[in-house]
Amino acid sequence: MNIPSQTHGTPLESSLAHLRHPGIELRVAIRFTTTRIPGPPADRAKHIADDFAVLNLGRNFTWDRDHIHYPSNFDSKEKIPLWMLVDFNIKDQISDIDSILTQYWKVGYDNETALFKKRDYKGARFIWMFEWGGRVEEWEFRLKKRAEKVGVRHREGAD
């Protein structure tokens, strides 16, 4: 993965620096074209999410605290422009999606280098169609994993 320290040829916006704080819950809508993402088609969504996280959050994407909402045809061999949503730094279930900071981006790749460009996109109602952090099944899995981690840390501290 080759990530530049720039966003589409310009210095990374200083207004994004606050996103590196691990507590900022963030929903990102990313526009991409299926055939312009490097790597295997089945890995596209994770590849984009990871590139975004490294560049803008200073860390890798992780299923423990992040979630991808991707369209069913994200791995199409046809050239299709699509949107995907990524929820970063998930702490709790939130029913009021309007309270979550939401940003819109477009990504392209120059070989393996991700080029993200921030977009102003008003009226993107599709973002409210998806529950914060995923469906009930994802929350059940996430809470189980969190409980397991706490149990491991608790047992390690007892030794």
Residues listed for the chain: 159
pLDDT in tens, 17-69: 555 555 789 999 999 999 999 999 999 999 999 999 999 999 999 988 899 99
Predicted local confidence at residue 20, as pLDDT: 56
Neighbours of 26 (CB within 10 A): 19
pLDDT-based confidence at residue 10 (cuts at 50, 70, 90): very low
Average pLDDT over residues 129-155: 68
How far from the centroid of its chain's Cα atoms is residue 156's Cα? 31
Predicted local confidence at residue 95, as pLDDT: 75
How far from the centroid of its chain's Cα atoms is residue 108's Cα? 15
For residue 124, report the phi and psi dihedrals to the nearest 5 degrees. -80, 80
Predicted local confidence at residue 130, as pLDDT: 77
Take residue 140 and report the two structure tokens written for it: 């059940």
**Residues 51 and 111: beta-carbon distance below 8 Å:** no
* Residue for token pair 């709790």: 92
Predicted local confidence at residue 50, as pLDDT: 97
3-class secondary-structure state, position 52: helix
Predicted local confidence at residue 71, as pLDDT: 87
Strand partners for 29 = 85, 104
Q: What is the reported pTM?
A: 0.74
pLDDT in tens, 93-138: 777 777 888 899 999 999 899 999 999 876 566 777 777 777 666 6
pLDDT-based confidence at residue 14 (cuts at 50, 70, 90): very low
* Residue for token pair 């423990």: 64
48 class by beta-carbon count within 10 Å (0-12 exposed, 13-18 middle, 19+ buried): buried
Strand partners for 83 = 31
